[in-house]
Structure 1
Amino acid sequence: MAARRPFATTTICFIAVWLTAPSSFVSDAGGHHGRGRSHVASIVSEEVYNKSLFLHKDDAACPANNFYAYSSFVRAAERFPGFGGAGGRDTRRREVAAFLAQISHETTGGWATAPDGPYSWGLCFKEEIKPASNYCDATATRWPCVPGKSYHGRGPIQLSWNYNYGPAGEAVGFDGLREPEVVAGDAEVAFKTALWFWMTPRRAKPSCHDVMTGRYRPSRADAAANRKAGFGLTTNIINGGLECNHTDDPRVNDRIGFFRRYCAILGVDVGDNLDCAHQLPYS
């Protein structure tokens, strides 16, 4: 049983995109921000969430057991009604599968021979284990660190650094600089930070939402860098500096493994351009 076996991958990775300067965020999240009717419940039922997608998230072996409740996910999605709400049936389902795959990779407790397979162990962690530092960038003067606070990876998207906790908190309604620990203590807030990242474009980057819903229009620089729409581009947006522009990266393969599984469960094909092996990362 999983409870008797140590995880093969207990190091929770934080997202390299969070190294982007805070001024690069587009504050209105592409017009998709604001409480409204969520489309998520019509795509992922509570039964599918608990009994098909996340089979082991509440196992005793998972540090985040009983944290990532379905109700918290659905309530958080109401803050971003565009999520899972753009395009036709397949587009909506594929976007939700892509989001869940990316957060599953960031919080996985799986290993190659894990019960039910390595891609059944998403949402196992809610906080970075043994962070290397407090992730305070003193040069980010717009989002000054609070003494004694740590801005290490927390939540489904592993939000990191003071210059990300600040704007994320401002966008979804908590004091990210003074109370960063809220992201690991309130599941609805945790999901909101992940959805904020997913829905929010940066000046040099599209949002993952736009990529997965056909709204992405490559610039000349994007075309030259071979940044084509598809799941692989969301990986580039998230962690391209470490995972893209080379072949057979195990982290990329893990993300794709979750995505394939979730697309099958939701009854949609995976689409084109699954990896970012031949895409230049964003600078």
Structure 2
Amino acid sequence: MLRLRALVALAALAVAGGLVAIIPSTAASAAACAAPWQSSAVYTGGAQVSHNGRNYQAKWWTQNEAPPGTTGVWQDLGACGGGSTPPTGSCSYPNWVAGTWYTTGAVVRYTNGLYYIAEHDNPGYDPTISTWYWDPYTCGGTPPTSSPPPPNPGGFVVSEAQFNQMFPSRNSFYTYSGLVAALSAYPAFTKTGSATVQRQEAAAFLANVHHETGGLVHIVEQNSANYPHYCDYSQPYGCPAGQAAYYGRGPIQLSWNFNYNAAGNALGLPLLTNPWLVQNDAAVAWKTAIWYWMTQNGPGTMTAHNAMVTGAGFGETIRSINGSIECNGGNPAQVQSRVTRYQQFVGILGVPAGANLYC
């Protein structure tokens, strides 16, 4: 069984799908509008843009996320150009109420004075946060249609811009190119099922990876006192690289000599004798994570891949990775950390989270 340890405790987000936008208590009605936001532009921390009659400031690197966004990257600086842009036409729709169930097509007036239409049924999610469930609405307009974005030309359903958005503080070792290079090892990874299912699987994989590595910051297990514990001498091949050589490494923190042996055999790599490949080669590191995701049940009853493509849900991926420690009430805070990150990532990819989020 792969032994995994949570490296950081991630703060729970305020609602499913992102961080709450900061809206000033007094609108800056006299403020001039900054340059309009452009989907193709890259914005770094401190950059200011205008969108739908309001100014926003980027907190960190971002691209292709329209303000106010779903990840909390945009800080709302208030109305610009003489006040909040009123919707066209005459509206008499009810005020949005948090926690109220809204069905597809429902139109509400939000606290910023603007109107939003529900693209999908939802339990009262904040319209300025969840762009999957809500879309801006102009009175008299036609309800928009929504579908997942087309596949990324690079072959992965997550674009490099989205990857950078998910991991703004990642270690330079964890390259996007290394991840893309690793995809060939298991062609069914994020390529099974509908476009929505493919993106859900990618979000689930990356959410668990985020949890295991503190946001792709840590390459190796931080508690070196554990290193000698990962050698199981009952295996016929023993520990040829040394008793303390099989500590956690890479996106899923591969550990134990028998896991290095199995992963190496599956990938055609000498990981049993040279486990350091996982911490020195980004593509190898990603391949070991995808190997575990695609082939190992761990403490669960199915692989994490099967959990996502069969509809078993994100909760079963947690069980497959660290269920013996976290699931069934073992560590609800760690489970919530993974779920919250998954909800954020599906929001970035523009798909719903699906059912069965917990284990």
TM-score, normalising length: structure 2: 0.55
Query: In the TM superposition, what is the alpha-carbon distance from 1:249 to its structure 2 partner?
Result: 1.3
Residue equivalent to 1:46: 160
Matched to 1:133, the amino acid is Y
SS at match of 2:356: coil
Counting only pairs closer than 5 Å after superposition, residues 100-139 of structure 1 correspond to structure 2 as: 100-108=206-214, 122-131=215-224, 132-134=226-228, 135-139=230-234
Q: For this pair of structures, how many residues does the alignment match?
A: 208
Counterpart check, 1:94 vs 2:200: yes
Residue equivalent to 2:118: none
Q: Which has the higher helix share?
A: 1
Q: Which has the higher strand share?
A: 2
- Worse-matched range after superposition: 198-207 or 182-191: 198-207
**Looking at both structures, which has the greater relative contact order when contacts are Cα pairs under 8 Å and sequence separation is at least 6?**
1
Contact 1:144–1:177 (Cα < 8 Å) also in 2: no
Query: In the TM superposition, what is the alpha-carbon distance from 1:41 to its structure 2 partner?
Result: 3.3
Taking a change above 3 Å as real, the CA distance of residues 42 and 160 of structure 1, as seen in their structure-2 partners, is closer
Contact 1:39–1:85 (Cα < 8 Å) also in 2: no
Matched to 1:139, the amino acid is S
Counterpart check, 1:213 vs 2:347: no
Contact 2:3–2:256 (Cα < 8 Å) also in 1: no
Higher-Rg structure is 2
Residue equivalent to 1:260: 343
Taking a change above 3 Å as real, the CA distance of residues 41 and 249 of structure 1, as seen in their structure-2 partners, is same
Residue equivalent to 1:15: 4
Which of 237, 240, 244 is the matching residue for 1:146? 240
Which of 79, 84, 91 is the matching residue for 2:185? 79
- Worse-matched range after superposition: 86-95 or 148-157: 148-157
SS at match of 2:227: coil
Spell out, residue by residue over 1:180-209, the C-alpha distance to the aligned partner (whole angstroms, 9 max, x if none).
111011010000000000110449732111
Q: In the aligned structure 2, how far is the partner of 1:206 from the partner of 1:69?
A: 29
Query: In the TM superposition, what is the alpha-carbon distance from 1:42 to its structure 2 partner?
Result: 4.4
Taking a change above 3 Å as real, the CA distance of residues 238 and 42 of structure 1, as seen in their structure-2 partners, is closer
Counterpart check, 1:194 vs 2:277: no
Which of 234, 240, 250 is the matching residue for 2:323? 240
Contact 1:102–1:255 (Cα < 8 Å) also in 2: yes
SS at match of 1:85: coil
Residue equivalent to 1:56: 169
Matched to 1:176, the amino acid is L
Q: In the aligned structure 1, how far is the partner of 2:255 from the partner of 2:191?
A: 28
Spell out, residue by residue over 1:29-58, the C-alpha distance to the aligned partner (whole angstroms, 9 max, x if none).
xxxxxxxxx9973411112212x111111x
Taking a change above 3 Å as real, the CA distance of residues 184 and 42 of structure 1, as seen in their structure-2 partners, is closer
SS at match of 1:123: coil
Matched to 2:323, the amino acid is G
Query: In the TM superposition, what is the alpha-carbon distance from 1:133 to its structure 2 partner?
Result: 3.0
Which of 276, 280, 285 is the matching residue for 1:185? 280
Query: In the TM superposition, what is the alpha-carbon distance from 1:246 to its structure 2 partner?
Result: 1.1
Aligned-residue identity in percent = 42
Q: Which runs of 5+ in 2 are unaligned?
A: 6-151
TM-align CA RMSD:
2.2
Contact 1:39–1:81 (Cα < 8 Å) also in 2: no
TM-score, normalising length: structure 1: 0.69
Q: In the aligned structure 2, how far is the partner of 1:153 from the partner of 1:82?
A: 25
